[in-house]
Structure formats: C-alpha cells, structure tokens
Structure 1
C-alpha cells in the first residue's frame, strides 16, 4: 500500500475546487486501461471525489473514515445536519465536520469504542462495509444478504461488522481479493472507493 501522500493532501482531495479536471484522462496516475479508470471518470464527474492535485488522483492511497462519510454525504445530496457532531475529535474546521454531523444523526456513523470518530484514521474494509450498509438503510433501500462463508477469512470478520459485510458483498459493493479473501481488517484505497461509488450511482440515477 502506497503512503507517499500526506494526510493534508488526501483531505485536499475532497475540498479542492470543482474547476479542477473532472476526467480520469486528466490524471497522470490513472491509466486508461486501469480497472478503476471508468469509475474515477464517473465519480469525479459527479463531484463525489476529486484529485489530490490537478493531475493526480492517488488511486493507491488509503481512504480515511472522514473521506468515506464525506463522499456518502455528497452522494445523499449534501443534506444539512440539524445539530453538530458530538464526537470530541470532530471540530467545525474539519472538512468532514458537516458530513459527520449528518451521518451521526442519520445513524450511519456511530463512532469508535472510545467515543471518538477518528476521521483521519484509515478505514478498514469491514468499517467501510458497515458505513455502506447503514447508508443503504438510511436511504430506505433493501439490504442484501451476501454469503460470507465462501471466503477463506470469513471468520476474521468482527461480529459488529457481519451484517454490514454481508450487505456489501451481497450488493456487489465489496468483492473478494486474490486468494479468495475479504481482508476485513485491511484498508481500502481511493481506487476501490471510486468503484464502490460507481456501483452506488447505478440505482441513484436509474
């Protein structure tokens, strides 16, 4: 997993002006034949994700918890939250503050065991699955029931993430990796998030 980009650069990816190129072809690090190229094209055109600079998308960079909530908030139409987030580590100056406030009130973001949100922490694949499941539930969509025991590491999924992972797998949002594993504790990349958002856009515009 590449870690060359700093946290501020990744945060910038969600806040840079829309005037920057919204085309996968404009990103020097997104090859035209990359498995995620079309997804990058669609999600940047939709304004859900941006590049980390005018000509870089950073497809292999890790996704943070704050980024996930921010893009889901955008996908929902950037609704205004009635109250601020109550997490002690989320301040008004955080780029994801309004998104987290919405996600908390909508039951999408419940925070971590210590009461914090951890917006700058890399999101694990099972955490991402839970966010996706709760988002679908909030939007009134039927949750899927994927079969998890077909994966070699299904037993590694934590109990609190089982429903979320079953939905994400059943809905085709999260797929297995090489070696027939789900890697629930592994981190998600920006390329993977772009593909997931592309899949979420299908019912959104259909």
Structure 2
C-alpha cells in the first residue's frame, strides 16, 4: 500500500483543517475530516516539520512531513460512529506499524488512552485518495511553566490568557487548588454560571421556575437569571447537559440583544436554524470560527478552555 505523508498546507486546502490564531510554536484546536467524511477534532495540537523514519515491514523509509502534534493530557473527538487508524510502535527514532492491528476511536479519547503502552504514533486516511495523516504525542516536558497557578495550563496554551482573565474577573476558578481542567466538558449549568458572574452576579427578581432544580444548587441564581434573560425556557433545567458550540454562541448573541447580521456560509448550519444568526454574529465578531472552511459543527460539545476563550473574546 502506498503511504503518503500529508503536508499540512495540503490538509488545510483540501481537507478543511481548522487553523486558529496562536503564538508561534503553540498549541491550539484543530479539526480534519477523514476519508469517511467524519471529523477528528483535537482540543490542543500544533504542526511541526519533521523527518519520520518508518520501518515498513522490513523496508526503511524516510519522509519529511508536517505532522500533527497533540499536547499531552489533551483529547481527541471523533464526530460520529467509529473511526479507524493505524498504530505505530516507537523504537528509538523509528516507527514500526503494529501488524494486523487497527485502532478504533469513538467519541472522545484522551492522549493517555490513544498513546498507551509503547504506541508512539497513529495515522488515519483523509480525502478520496486516502492520504495518510500522521499524529504524534508532544513532549510535555518542553512546555513552558504556567504563570497562572495551574499546573495543567501551560504559559503558551491557546487558552492561557482567557483562563487568567476569567479567574481574575471571578468568572470561574480552578477545579482544584492547582488545576483548571481546560479539556473537561463544560455543562450548561457551568456556562450559565460563568455568564451570570461575568454580568455582575445579579440577584433573581422572580421565583425559581424550574421544578427539578433545588433553590440551594450552586447554579440556581444563574439559572433563574438566564431564564429572566431568555437564555433558557421551560419548567425543567437540564444543568448537566454538555454545552454545545451552537448553544454557547446563542447565549452570547441573546445577551448582545440579538443583532441581525449576514448569514454565515457553513454547510452544517441551515438558514432557518434557530442558532443561524447567532453563529453568523459570533464569527463576524471574532468570538469563534468554523471547525473547517465550510463547517461550524454546531452540536460539538465545548470544553472549559474553549468556553472561557469564547467569553474572553466577547467581553475582555
């Protein structure tokens, strides 16, 4: 089988890899479609020029390539169903494919799960020509030490400044004395609490409208405030539901008094979708961008790092 290492520029142009603005050499979110048309979304990755030496079943090959490097401790999400990939054992500076083994990914996995034991690299095919994309684990020890008090937020992480801002403003805090958990999924209760705090933590002016929410829940005041603001409705509050990209931009758009803007050109955002205007507005304001040139991924869930970044871009 002919294997081709994908140059990053080709990936960007042909497969729609989402490229965020970031500091040189820094990590950031990426998304790329595989040959089945499904998204591989990396919460924290970067691209480096490397020479890869492959021990391809007795044949040694060297390839100069732009390789996707994922940050240790981050996660990778597969958009739908099961995706397959090849695994490679690292032996010194060489990578040998694991014979007769095909890995599977479904939903979200961490780098610890993906690069278990002595697996040093994976690859999956993209496009109609089944071009191989190589993914390796970054060196966590090379990360600059954090200056924000959190051991899991590197100084050059793409969300480092938003995390620092959110903590300083009292919008959120760490999940422990020295961790922020930027890759943890953000729930509806959490994002509404962040927004409530960012808007001054106002006291509710109405009684609790939710039959399933205790008045002493940590998010109770935030949920009632969100109800008053029209961010949520109904008699049941689903606070544990993961917050999606479309829900996040809709909350921010409503708080901005629902400005009308030109529609965004995303194939997965219908013109009559309830969040269509919110998506277009958020992109116009630079709060977020698509996960590729043509997709927004409205149902993709958001992490704590992503949510504070959205808020930072909107409010800071």
What band does the TM-score fall into relative to the shorter chain? 0.7 to 0.9
Deviations 1:81-132 (A, max 9, x none): 1113312222112111001111111222225xxx422111101111112111
Deviates more, 1:189-198 or 1:176-185: 176-185
Q: How much does 1:50 deviate?
A: 0.7
Q: How much does 1:135 deviate?
A: 1.4
> What does residue 192 of structure 1 align with?
306
> What does residue 83 of structure 1 align with?
206
Q: Is 1:119 paired with 2:232?
A: no
TM-score by length of 2: 0.51
More strand by share: 2
Q: Is 1:167 paired with 2:277?
A: no
Q: How many residues matched?
A: 175
Q: Which runs of 4+ in 1 moved over 3 A?
A: 1-4
> What does residue 153 of structure 1 align with?
268
> What does residue 132 of structure 1 align with?
252
Deviates more, 1:31-40 or 1:171-180: 171-180
Q: How much does 1:200 deviate?
A: 2.5
Q: How much does 1:3 deviate?
A: 8.1
Separation of aligned partners in 2, 1:39 and 1:158: 32
Instruction: Choose the corresponding residue for 1:62, options 171, 182, 185.
Output: 185
- Contact preservation (8 Å) 2:263, 2:276: no
Separation of aligned partners in 1, 2:262 and 2:185: 25
Separation of aligned partners in 2, 1:24 and 1:36: 13
> What does residue 143 of structure 1 align with?
259
TM-score by length of 1: 0.76
- Contact preservation (8 Å) 2:211, 2:236: yes
> What does residue 219 of structure 2 align with?
96
Q: Which runs of 5+ in 2 are unaligned?
A: 1-74, 76-107, 111-145
RMSD: 2.3
Separation of aligned partners in 1, 2:274 and 2:147: 36
Separation of aligned partners in 1, 2:307 and 2:256: 16
Q: How much does 1:47 deviate?
A: 0.7
Separation of aligned partners in 2, 1:195 and 1:30: 13
Q: How much does 1:178 deviate?
A: 4.3
Higher RCO (C-alpha under 8 Å, 6+ residues apart): 1
Deviations 1:56-86 (A, max 9, x none): 1111111111111111111111111111331
Separation of aligned partners in 2, 1:131 and 1:170: 16
